[in-house]
Structure 1
Amino acid sequence: MKLYFEDFIPGHTAEYGPRVVSREEIIAFASQYDPQPMHLDEAAAQKSLLGGLAASGWHNCGIMMRMICDAFILNSASMGAGGVEEVKWLRPIRPGDRLTLRYTVLDARASKSRPEMGIVRISYEMMNAHGECVMTMVTPALFRRRNPGASS
């Protein structure tokens, strides 16, 4: 069943995953997009604030986006997003980490200017296998309405 704006009820929560992050993908991403030593080299990473090899925060965002797509966006009437309100990198993502994603619908409203769409504010939390939150994000997502003429 394809998800539309009307399917995102405030307060709804769901969990997806897991996804395991490898050392090789951490280094590959960092090599191309964020070549700081703490993302490329174990010895340098040990001496850094992170205390060991860890994924770039931008890699974390990419991992989260992939998990979001696999979880429900690719099976929805998504029309994109109006940006990102907040991203927080709370703990390092390490090689071998097993990540899960939780999303919560914060609120939903029909667009006043574009009746074919609704705006759904979603809070995401990514956790490691120890249940520690490693990253959060809040974003207003745009979804096509199933019934554009219906009241919100």
Structure 2
Amino acid sequence: MTVFFEDVDRWDGESHGTYEVTEGEIVEFAERYDPQWFHTDPERAAESPYGDLIASGWHTAAMSMRLFVEGFLDETATMGAKGLDRLRWPAPVHPGDELTIHSTIRGVDEESGTEDYGVVRWGVETTAGEKTVLALEALVLVARA
């Protein structure tokens, strides 16, 4: 069932998915997009305050996006997004962490949309166990029925 703007509150307060982060994936992403030593050099990173490699925040955002799509957006009549607000990485992601995404609807804005869509302000939080590793608000365009 496709969820349209009028019924988007169906996704309020949901948690979804798990994604296991691997060392290889952290290094591969970082070498391509964020080649800082604490993302790419396991030996040097072991001596860092993090004690291990950590994923780039942008990698954490990409993994979170995958979980958001698989958990919510695949079944929603989305039409893209207007942007993100309040993007934060409160704790690092390490190899072996298992990510889960949680969403909360923070608001719907019928005025910013058109007769074809409305704008949903989705609070997204990604956790690895008890720690929050990403928090943001996404302004998602959702088609009207």
- Percent same amino acid among aligned pairs? 33
- Corresponding residue number in structure 1 for 2:58: 58
- With over 3 angstroms needed to count, the CA separation of the structure-2 counterparts of 1:36 and 1:64, relative to structure 1, is same
Structural RMSD (CA): 1.7
TM-score (norm 1): 0.89
Q: CA deviation at 1:144?
A: 0.3
2:5–2:118 Cα contact (<8 Å) kept: yes
- Corresponding residue number in structure 2 for 1:150: none
- The yes-or-no answer on 1:133 pairing with 2:140 is no
Structure 1: where are the runs of 5+ without partners?
Answer: 147-152
Larger Rg: 1
Q: CA deviation at 1:51?
A: 3.2
* Higher mean C-alpha deviation, range 87-96 or range 106-115: 106-115
- Corresponding residue number in structure 2 for 1:74: 74
Matches within 5 A, 1:115-134: 115-129=115-129, 131-134=130-133
TM-score (norm 2): 0.93
Matches within 5 A, 1:1-150: 1-9=1-9, 12-111=12-111, 114-129=114-129, 131-146=130-145
Residues of 1 paired with 2:111 and 2:142: CA distance?
10
Deviation beyond 4 Å, 4+ runs, structure 1 = none
What number of residue pairs does the alignment pair up? Answer: 145
Q: CA deviation at 1:17?
A: 1.3
Structure 2: where are the runs of 5+ without partners?
Answer: none
